[in-house]
Amino acid sequence: MAKPAERSAARLAAVQALYQMDVSGKGVIDALAEFETFWIGREVEGIEFQPSDNDFFRNILSGVVDNQRAIDMKIDKALADGWPLKRVEAVLRAILRAGAYELMFRKDVPVRVVITEYVDVTHSFYHEDEPGLVNAVLDTLARDVRAGELEKKAAGQAKR
């Protein structure tokens, strides 16, 4: 089993690759090859990229691409009315898509872990309102796609 730090690094790398694919038009195979060969676990221009759980990285990246239509529809529902995903800045779009993928298709990862991890990823790029936006959108989406998990947690806290 991968270490939590390697999964965190995989999430960050997946967001960066999704962003790059979005703005450059690269395909998933090219993005996977580039990140695994030149970025993950290497130092590039004085920036050290942490070792990552490459299987998890591949799963997130290909999972978002394979399920993008369903993911985008769920995110659109979770965003404020009149503010569709296509109007969201590209890095935020990548973060939301990766987080939504895990919530929708990686039931082995607890909801709270997914939300916390992607809020942390957001802090790597933004320092204003964006982490709160990611938290709110992923929480709304989680209540839609994994309501039972959140209800069980809330019921357990109420009994304390």
Query: pLDDT (tens digit, 9 = 90+) per residue, 84-128?
Result: 888 899 999 999 999 999 999 999 999 999 999 999 999 999 999
Does the structure show a pLDDT above 60 at 154? no
Paired strand residues for 43 = 48
- How much is the average pLDDT of 67-84? 90
Predicted pLDDT at 137: 95
Kindly state the tokens that stand for 108.
């082995």
pLDDT for 49: 67
Give exposure, 54-73, as e/b (b: 16+ Cβ within 10 Å): bebbbbbbbbbbebeeebbe
Q: Confidence band (pLDDT; 50, 70, 90) for 152? A: low
Per-residue CA distances from 141 to 15, 96, 101, 120, 145 (Å): 18, 10, 10, 18, 6
CA dihedral (131, 78, 58, 148) in degrees, to 10, reads 100
Structural contact between residues 139 and 115, judged by C-beta atoms closer than 8 angstroms: yes
Q: Could you give the CA distance from residue 71 to residue 51 in angstroms, rounded to a whole number?
A: 27
